Structure 1
Amino acid sequence: MAHSAPVNTDHADPDHLAELRAALQVDDAGESALGWAGVYAFEAEHGIVLPEPYRSFVAEITDGSFSGPPDFGLVGLAEMPEDWGDSRPVRDLSATFPLTRAWLWEEDPRPYAEIQPLLDPVFDHGSIVLGTDGCGMYWHLVVTGPHRGHIWNISGEGAVPFGREFGHTTGTSGFLGWVRHWAAGEPWFDAA
């Protein structure tokens, strides 16, 4: 599997923020944004720094969007999709996201007893949940570890990184590339 391409997670380009605003049709002069004080408080509470351009997006543009992506909309920074469930472990955003390559645990030959303890960290460590496409398919933005700034699709069957270098899509890596791909009306997994 390909190694992750660098994603600029330190600086938000104003043109990229304008592109995100247009793609998600946000035109409320920042009223739906969390604000910088809200972002700083969330980061301090969880011991992380959000990757750009998502960080500036939630601070200045909007904290969630019904227009998508994904299919059921972009949830707010401190929210979870309605179908997430109440019996899940406590999420630890400061813990390192454990994967650097796709893992389809449904096809893993190891006994389930070996796999099961490895699953909770995939869902609950080092990422924020951006939203759901339903049927247990969640989009995560990794906030810690080697894949910081990358988007992952995590479902009951496995976890797959988003970005053309990973072979599943023609879209570019990161939050901006993910939104661009959605705004262009492309299927998520469109690589031949």
Structure 2
Amino acid sequence: MNIDQADPAELAALRVAFAVDDGGESALGWDAVRAFEAEHGVVLPEPYRTFVAEVSDGSFQGPPEYGLVGLAELPSDWGDDGARRDLAEPFPLTRQWLWEEEDAPYPDQDPEAVVEQVLHHGSVVLGTDGCAMNWHLVVTGPQRGRIWLVTDVGAMPFGAESGGTTCAPGFAGWVAHWAAGKEWFDAA
């Protein structure tokens, strides 16, 4: 997974996966992507960066269940206007955390504060599967370029190295997994 340089094969696969949408008409273009990055103090990880610039800024066909939201958007079930979101602050987790069952991964921090950071720091929200199950792409911190599923009870990284699934890590692996029609958690 190269998050600093777009892989032509990954971009080709992304174009195929979203070919039935609008043929790239909804892509933001490079000026808009750079403006978003400057406004938020981040550089989006590849291949997502090139995807929103050249292929599509959102998709009704998915992934996830209710479609891929645009770069500057939040899913309709988000609950607030997103004003507290700070993409430049690092995403705080490096391992799965079920806050309904486990103590905070950082004993010196208030668990509620860490949950707020998970929800609002260092990631763009890709979309929702409903019922407060949102997919995030981490844009700052040690998990940069990784996909996380954040729910009302916890957060978990997505990708074969995290267990639970057979997909490659990152945005391209997440989309390829969806495009192949696989269940999100398909590992035995």
Q: TM-score range by the shorter chain?
A: over 0.9
Q: Partner residue of 1:65?
A: 59
Matches of 1:42 and 1:51 in 2, distance apart?
Answer: 13
Q: 1:49 aligns with which of 36, 43, 48?
A: 43
Deviation at 1:29, TM superposition (A): 4.3
Residue pair 1:123, 1:154 contacting (<8 A) in 2 also = yes
State the SS of the aligned residue for 2:100: helix
Deviates more, 1:150-159 or 1:8-17: 8-17
Q: Partner residue of 2:117?
A: 121
1:97-146 deviation line (CA, Å, top 9, x unaligned): 10000001111157xx9421211000110000000000000000000011
Q: Partner residue of 2:174?
A: 178
Gaps of 5+ in 2: none
Matches of 1:161 and 1:174 in 2, distance apart?
Answer: 10
Q: Partner residue of 1:148?
A: 144
Judged with a 3 Å threshold, the aligned counterparts in structure 2 of structure 1 residues 79 and 89 are, in CA distance, closer, same or farther, namely closer
Residue pair 1:66, 1:72 contacting (<8 A) in 2 also = yes
1:51-96 deviation line (CA, Å, top 9, x unaligned): 0000000000010001100000000000000110126661000001
1:16-75 deviation line (CA, Å, top 9, x unaligned): 112101112346443210000000000000000000000000000010001100000000
Q: How many residues align?
A: 184
Judged with a 3 Å threshold, the aligned counterparts in structure 2 of structure 1 residues 41 and 109 are, in CA distance, closer, same or farther, namely closer
For 1:129-148, list aligned pairs within 5 A: 129-148=125-144
Question: Residue 19 in 1 paired to residue 13 in 2?
Answer: yes
Residue pair 1:89, 1:120 contacting (<8 A) in 2 also = no
State the SS of the aligned residue for 1:105: coil
State the SS of the aligned residue for 2:24: coil
Residue pair 1:26, 1:62 contacting (<8 A) in 2 also = no
State the SS of the aligned residue for 2:112: helix
Q: What root-mean-square deviation, in Å, do the aligned CA atoms of Structure 1 and Structure 2 show?
A: 1.6
TM-score, structure 2 as length reference: 0.93
Matches of 2:98 and 2:57 in 1, distance apart?
Answer: 31
Identity %: 65
Residue pair 1:33, 1:59 contacting (<8 A) in 2 also = yes
Matches of 1:29 and 1:134 in 2, distance apart?
Answer: 27
State the SS of the aligned residue for 1:181: helix
Q: Partner residue of 2:73?
A: 79
Q: Partner residue of 1:3?
A: none
